[in-house]
Amino acid sequence: MEFIDLKAQQAHIRANIEQKIGTVLDHGRYIMGPEIAELEERLAEFVGTRHALACSSGTDALMIALMALEIGPGDAVLTTPFTFIATAEVINRLGAVPVFVDIDPLSFNISPRDLPRCLAALTRKDPKVHPLPNAAFEKSIEPKAIIAVDLFGLPAAYDEINAIAGDHRLKVIEDAAQSLGGQYKGRQAGSLADIGCTSFFPSKPLGCYGDGGMCFTDSDIYHQTMNSLREHGKASHRYDHHLIGLNGRMDTIQAAILLAKFEIFPEEIAARQQVAQTYSDLLLAEDSIQSPQIGDVSMSVWAQYSVLAENEAKRRIMLDKLDSAGIPKAVYYPKPLHLQTAFTALGYQEGDFPVSENTAKRIFSLPMHPYLSPQQQQLIVAQIT
Ligand SMILES: *Cc1c(COP(=O)(O)O)cnc(C)c1O
């Protein structure tokens, strides 16, 4: 059994993938070939934004988005500590300061209730109102943006987040690395903030066979800026550059692979709903495991099916049982970002974000992909119940 079965998927589309790679080998435009624009057009239409910009990874998508918003030294960017490191890494990389806000215990996404408290604490430099990073006291840092993450494929609470951002003149970036194909109030993930960023890392809901990412926006200005940043800050004239950018392009071959995979993506999204429903049905009567609570305004794309054990010791027992049965599993994430070594300079302490810390001790993820059979799911659930 596979945690994410990319071989089963490939069996369905191998011929199409080979044909599309063959086309790239024939035309030879490995950098910015015609498949890039085609993919951008398809995905902008799917997500429902005016623009989509293919780039080299989800991390670079976030970086390019922050650069387009002109985030840099002196700026604070509010985000969740319960995410993959890339979300906060890019903030630091640009010289800005990540300011963490705890998660909601049911959605695992940034808590809109805590955001105003965090902003008030920053203004007053008062850590009694909300935990703050060291930088908030050393110099003046000004909140400029929020990066909300759609964890495990479930969009964050964007109506609340965007409203708070509007009140404080902050920009919002949607880290949709895990949520492409998910929905919030009938709108597609990736379209829910000023700029949406996704990842095509192989194991994401829509993955390529290497690294890749994409930025989505309705803003012509952001699109134009990001388009320039993606290619070293190019201006309209090839060897004149008006911005300091990066090499953030997607390979044409990866775009070709994504075009083939995108053809079956709607079916895969539907199959993911089915698989998640089967898990939830099988776990319904279990008191010892809390299955995901996604609410009724969103549709998760189920990048992960993550459950909560009652405590760390009980999780250990369940993980061991899955191991003995040869069933793959994962823990996303065992350590919240504010407790990771790379972020020690921020000066956060254990206890600052109790929901994230508690979740990190109890959460684990079961195998999840569109090709999982109900029989396999019964076998998996039987090990932990
Ligand atoms: C995967 C992921 C990223 C980074 O994407 P890459 O394509 O691996 O660079 C960023 N944020 C979240 C939440 C992710 O899951």
In this structure, the residue with its CA closest to atom 10 of ligand 1 is 86
pLDDT at 236: 74
C-beta 177 within 6 A of ligand 1: yes
Out of 4, 55, 64, 87, mutate this one to test ligand 1's pocket (max ligand atoms within 8 Å of CB): namely 87
Give this prediction's pTM: 0.98
In this structure, the residue with its CA closest to atom 5 of ligand 1 is 58
**pLDDT at residue 230 above 90?**
yes
In this structure, the residue with its CA closest to atom 2 of ligand 1 is 177
**pLDDT at residue 139 above 90?**
no
**pLDDT at residue 138 above 90?**
no
Local structure of 118: helix, strand or coil: helix
Long-range contacts of 158-167 (CB under 8 A, 24+ apart): 158/184, 158/192, 158/193, 159/185, 160/112, 160/115, 161/110, 161/112, 161/115, 161/193, 162/192, 162/193, 164/112, 164/115, 164/116, 164/119
| Residue pLDDT, tens place only, 346-364 | 999 999 999 999 999 999 9
Other C-beta atoms within 10 Å of 242: how many?
12
Out of 79, 85, 175, mutate this one to test ligand 1's pocket (max ligand atoms within 8 Å of CB): namely 175
Q: Which of 246, 279, 289 is nearest to 369 (CA)?
A: 279
Q: Can you give the length of the chain in residues?
A: 385
C-beta 194 within 6 A of ligand 1: no
Quick one: which atom of ligand 1 is closest to the CA of 199? 7
Local structure of 283: helix, strand or coil: helix
Ligand 1 centroid from CA 142, angstroms: 26
What is the mean predicted confidence (pLDDT) over 249-261?
Answer: 98
Local structure of 366: helix, strand or coil: strand
Indicate the pLDDT class of residue 163, thresholds 50, 70 and 90: very high
Local structure of 182: helix, strand or coil: coil
Peptide bond into 333 cis (omega under 30): yes
C-beta 205 within 6 A of ligand 1: no
What is the mean predicted confidence (pLDDT) over 272-294?
Answer: 95
pLDDT at 235: 86
C-beta 66 within 6 A of ligand 1: no
Q: Say which residues have a Cβ less than 8 Å from residue 155's Cβ, sequence separation at least 6.
A: 109, 174, 176, 179, 182, 183, 184, 189, 192, 298, 300
**pLDDT at residue 238 above 90?**
no
Other C-beta atoms within 10 Å of 312: how many?
11
What is the mean predicted confidence (pLDDT) over 109-137?
Answer: 96
In this structure, the residue with its CA closest to atom 1 of ligand 1 is 177
**Contact 31/249 with Cβ under 8 angstroms?**
yes
C-beta 87 within 6 A of ligand 1: yes
Other C-beta atoms within 10 Å of 236: how many?
7
- For the chain, first and last CA: distance in Å? 19
Among residues of the chain, what percentage have pLDDT more than 90? Answer: 96
Q: Which two tokens stand for residue 155?
A: 């969009």
Tell me which H or E stretch contains 201.
Answer: none
Ligand 1 centroid from CA 10, angstroms: 22
